[in-house]
Structure 1
Amino acid sequence: MANTNDFAGPGWAWYNRLLLRAFIVYAAITVIPLTPSFYSQDFDAGFSVVNYPWRWLDVLSQNNPWFFSGQGGKNYGGWLITLLGCFLVGAVWLWVEKQINKNKNILDIDTGDARLYNLFFVLVRYQVALRMSWFAIAKVFPVQMPFPTISQLNTNLGDFTPGKLYWLTTGVSPFFEVFAGVFELTATVLILFRRTATLGALMMIAILLPIWFVNIGYDAGVELASLHLLLLSLLLLAKDATKFWQLLIEHKEAAISYIQPPVFSQRWKRVGRIILKVGFIFIFLFYRGYHYGKLYAAGKTFKLPLDNGVASFTGFYNVEEFRINNRIIPYAPDDTLRWQNVVFEKFNTISIKVVKPFKLNTENKIRTTEYYGNIGRLFYGYDADTVKHVLILKNRADTSEKVVWNYTAPKPGRFILRGLDGHKDSVYIVLNRVDRQYPLAVKRNTKVKGD
């Protein structure tokens, strides 16, 4: 097995030294939150960090460079500008080093390329592990792509974007999601250790290449993010490019390089390195995995609201009667005012099927997962006072919209709603629950309550 000096040393060509410095800069600026918007965001709205403080780990794992989110996750122009900027910084860095060393004897010059490569090797490995650990654990405990909700099961196929449809169809098969998560988690663990980093990088490429193409084909929103991780994984193999050519193309023997860890003379540095590595693995893999396991066991997912709804309300309801200002509005398939059906989810969401123009939301954010990538339904969060029989509804897309209604339940599965809508018109609505069977839920051997 070759060591570091086989590819990092005084004999390096100038372009290799330039690439090394440019990609050190790239690895650093893409893992450190540098954009003001990162610090100004509402972390609790996006990540529920108040009630779940360990979700700060997810904040770090899901931090995106400025060019990730632009243009629907396809800001290739911003990505190329960033790469160009990194190469310019790398060129200046190299030029400054040359000026410092120009009057020195060549035997006295220490470029430090081996140490810099070690820094690069650490930055890239841990950035890939930081980002992929979240994706892996959220699939091992299948909460990244949850099983479709009752609202989604009652949304027309044509009302979904391709990206949302891909997420839902993946969520239908938790077995596949868990399998993918185990594969991703294995690659993440391997990439954290120097002796297995090459194998981990190869597995990451096998994972990320189809993910990148899936995002291109389905417009799933993380196209550039997957390409970024794919590039970092490829960079981990760049040192052995000629070795892989010899092995795979020329069918010759070749030794894969081993990146030796830095040698520290002080004991506290040696101990500190071990503590940091063990701490990273414990916190981002075991500790977070434990909490995601608890989340899954409780039947929850951060892709959907975490607050429970009223269990007896859950189900699909037909709208039997609909009145505005005491005027009965009969059912018509093209009526833009009358509700067509209503869903009470097991969590505190009410969704309403209406025929009206919708503004499609394609921002892939945690707090908008219910309604991003699909149209056809209004989504409201609700609080219920089951003693006073009061429902407080807040529009999840426009939190400034709020209504307070009274309700009665003359018998199980029947609701009567009364109150004022957002236009201050009085409404009177009668809902009847309908028991429905969904082949997707039956195939999964899952009973969706009230369906």
Structure 2
Amino acid sequence: MFVIEKITDKDVPKEIDRPLNKSWPFWQLLAFRISLVFFIILSIPNNPLWYQHVLSIDWLNLDYRDLYDICRFGSGVNWFGRTTFGSRLEGYSIWVNTLFFSAAAGLLWSFFAKVLKKERKEYTKLYYWLNVIVRYRTALGIIGFGFTKLFPVQMPYPSLGILDTDYGDLTTQKIFWLSFGIVPWYQVFAGIVEVGAGTLLFFRKTVAIGSTLLVGALGAIVVVNFAYDGGVHVYSSYFVLLSLFLLVPYFKPFYDVFIREIPAKVNLSFPKFNTAGQLVRFGLKGLAIFLFLGVFFYLQYVDFLYDPYKQPSSSGVADLRGNYNVSEFKINGIAHPFDPYDSIRWQSATFEKWSTLTFKVNRPLKLDLSNGGGDPKRDVNRTFEISGVAGGQRAFHYYVDPKTQTLYLEDKYKLIPDQRNVTAGEGGDGGVKNYLDRLKKDTAGEKPSISLAEWIPTDVKARLGDEAGYVHPRARTARRLREFAKADQMAEKEIRQRFILSYKIEDDENRVVLTGIDENRDSLYVVLHKVRKDYKISPGKLDAGQYNK
């Protein structure tokens, strides 16, 4: 049995008080059948890795990314490939293919309903359940998206290396994201809007408010992603589309109230549950709210404090941190005096507060055009420092042996990039998988000069300990431990350049001497002098990560 909720003024004219269960015209039946197939397909994961991930979660030692990957997944009809008539349609081709498939299914459904004389008069009850599916899909997805802004880790404050990069050497996408990164409280505000809107979708009486907020907020994100080539225009459009569907019952009342300026009501059908049904309904809703608001909030807070997903989590050498000018530079004993056109000499260098050394050279380099996000746990795979950054800027992750004051460095850029947002398939960051086959051919036979086996001696590895334990115990999740258990196996497949440098700190931490071998096994001698740069912005107190060691 269905009851009608009337959100109405007592003076609503009789002519707009329409019964819900009247017969639908054929076009409405057909539109619903197409919509049912279309939105069901868009609301369920299409990647087997998503199901594998859910089954492998350690629910007693959760990582924020475990819940995030439940919320974010690829969907739609991808059985016919990822193009429509040979075009990716700016990433929307899967939607178009899904619409074609849904239209065909809807037409066949209508045809057989006519032939078999089983035509329904209306689908009021089925429409309600479709709305429930879309509501919860939208709510969970946007909450996962919003928490990375509520605790500002999606768009980090720029690193020293990025601040040392010329404005013209940053991609438009990087400039836009950094514009958010330098005002973290605005990023928090955006997160409050997204998480708040998602929360409103859990409750039937606030669906219109939550959906309207999402159309406005995510619509703006779609526009800026097109304007700045941000790469997440499809995913943000996804929430706009789902929210517009949820607003369908409100279009006519909104038009009457805001355009015609007459009273209006919304007729919504809800099932009348028995006692057992009510217990199940409130139990499932309570579980969703507890898990994806309460637990997720805590896990994202832990990530913000100890393991922000776009920044390395390990502290760097505290005495090395800062910006440096390169006062002396020798390769194989041959001095290279300062020359801005020298393609070998380092022009400047920075040691970050985390375990990264960056330096600038005057030669073209291959670029990382991702947004630096995704799900890597290893610091070397967190590439926000170099993604979207040109101008000869290089970044090396390092391990430090304090006993011998030696840095073991590896290039953060690698020729074959990781696929990011794995459970989302190509719905992740820009479809990195598209390039893997081509890159494997391009890099066939290439090997680093310093192999992984000879890079760090066995006794040094023993002193370094397990990298998985470099973070605070609260951040040592099952997911992190699993990834680091495979670290050596993964590293063997990577093509990375490596350095080995000893460091000596002099002149009250203002002078650093680096000696060792570079990626080509050439001897290297570099003298760095620390410089204080008067940046007009500062991170403030809302800064992710713990780097006080």
1:231 aligns with 2:241: yes
1:371 aligns with 2:379: no
Kindly state the Cα deviation for residue 175 of structure 1 after the two structures are TM-superposed.
2.1
Structure 1 partner of 2:298 = 290
Tell me, yes or no, if the aligned pair for 1:24 and 1:120 is still in contact at 8 Å. Answer: yes
1:415 aligns with 2:425: no
Tell me, yes or no, if the aligned pair for 1:148 and 1:171 is still in contact at 8 Å. Answer: yes
- Amino acid of the structure 2 residue aligned with 1:352: F
What secondary structure does 2:328 align onto? strand
1:158 aligns with 2:168: yes
Tell me, yes or no, if the aligned pair for 1:20 and 1:120 is still in contact at 8 Å. Answer: no
Q: How does 1:6-405 map to 2 (within 5 A)?
A: 9=21, 11-35=23-47, 53-65=63-75, 74-100=90-116, 102=117, 113-260=123-270, 262-265=271-274, 267=276, 269-298=277-306, 301-364=308-371, 365-366=373-374, 367-376=382-391, 377-398=393-414, 399-401=494-496, 402-405=498-501
Tell me, yes or no, if the aligned pair for 1:314 and 1:345 is still in contact at 8 Å. Answer: yes
Partner Cα separation in structure 2 for residue 288 and residue 310 of structure 1: 32
Q: 1:349 to 1:22 in 2, by over 3 A?
A: farther
Q: 1:329 to 1:447 in 2, by over 3 A?
A: farther
Count of aligned residue pairs for this structure pair? 434
Kindly state the Cα deviation for residue 414 of structure 1 after the two structures are TM-superposed.
2.5
Tell me, yes or no, if the aligned pair for 1:384 and 1:391 is still in contact at 8 Å. Answer: yes
- Amino acid of the structure 1 residue aligned with 2:348: N
Partner Cα separation in structure 1 for residue 517 and residue 20 of structure 2: 73
- Amino acid of the structure 2 residue aligned with 1:308: S
Tell me, yes or no, if the aligned pair for 2:77 and 2:97 is still in contact at 8 Å. Answer: no
Tell me, yes or no, if the aligned pair for 1:324 and 1:428 is still in contact at 8 Å. Answer: yes
Partner Cα separation in structure 1 for residue 263 and residue 533 of structure 2: 63
Tell me whether 413-422 or 214-223 shows the greater mean CA deviation.
Answer: 413-422
Partner Cα separation in structure 2 for residue 11 and residue 352 of structure 1: 71
Partner Cα separation in structure 2 for residue 316 and residue 7 of structure 1: 71
Kindly state the Cα deviation for residue 10 of structure 1 after the two structures are TM-superposed.
5.5
Partner Cα separation in structure 2 for residue 354 and residue 51 of structure 1: 43
Kindly state the Cα deviation for residue 194 of structure 1 after the two structures are TM-superposed.
0.3
- Amino acid of the structure 1 residue aligned with 2:384: T
Tell me whether 396-405 or 283-292 shows the greater mean CA deviation.
Answer: 396-405
Partner Cα separation in structure 1 for residue 311 and residue 299 of structure 2: 16
- Amino acid of the structure 2 residue aligned with 1:277: K
- Amino acid of the structure 1 residue aligned with 2:338: Y
Tell me, yes or no, if the aligned pair for 1:321 and 1:429 is still in contact at 8 Å. Answer: yes
Partner Cα separation in structure 1 for residue 342 and residue 114 of structure 2: 74
What secondary structure does 1:415 align onto? strand
Partner Cα separation in structure 1 for residue 261 and residue 220 of structure 2: 27
Tell me, yes or no, if the aligned pair for 1:73 and 1:222 is still in contact at 8 Å. Answer: no
Q: 1:141 to 1:91 in 2, by over 3 A?
A: same
TM-score of the superposition, structure 2-length normalised? Answer: 0.72
Structure 2 partner of 1:434 = 531
Q: 1:424 to 1:7 in 2, by over 3 A?
A: farther
Tell me, yes or no, if the aligned pair for 2:157 and 2:182 is still in contact at 8 Å. Answer: yes
What secondary structure does 1:383 align onto? strand
Q: 1:117 to 1:445 in 2, by over 3 A?
A: closer
Partner Cα separation in structure 1 for residue 501 and residue 261 of structure 2: 75
What secondary structure does 2:224 align onto? helix
Partner Cα separation in structure 2 for residue 79 and residue 357 of structure 1: 38
Q: 1:380 to 1:73 in 2, by over 3 A?
A: farther
Q: 1:436 to 1:275 in 2, by over 3 A?
A: same
Tell me, yes or no, if the aligned pair for 2:124 and 2:269 is still in contact at 8 Å. Answer: no
Q: 1:7 to 1:149 in 2, by over 3 A?
A: farther
Which one scores higher on RCO, CA 8 angstroms, separation ≥ 6? 2
Structure 1 partner of 2:478 = none
Tell me, yes or no, if the aligned pair for 2:64 and 2:300 is still in contact at 8 Å. Answer: no
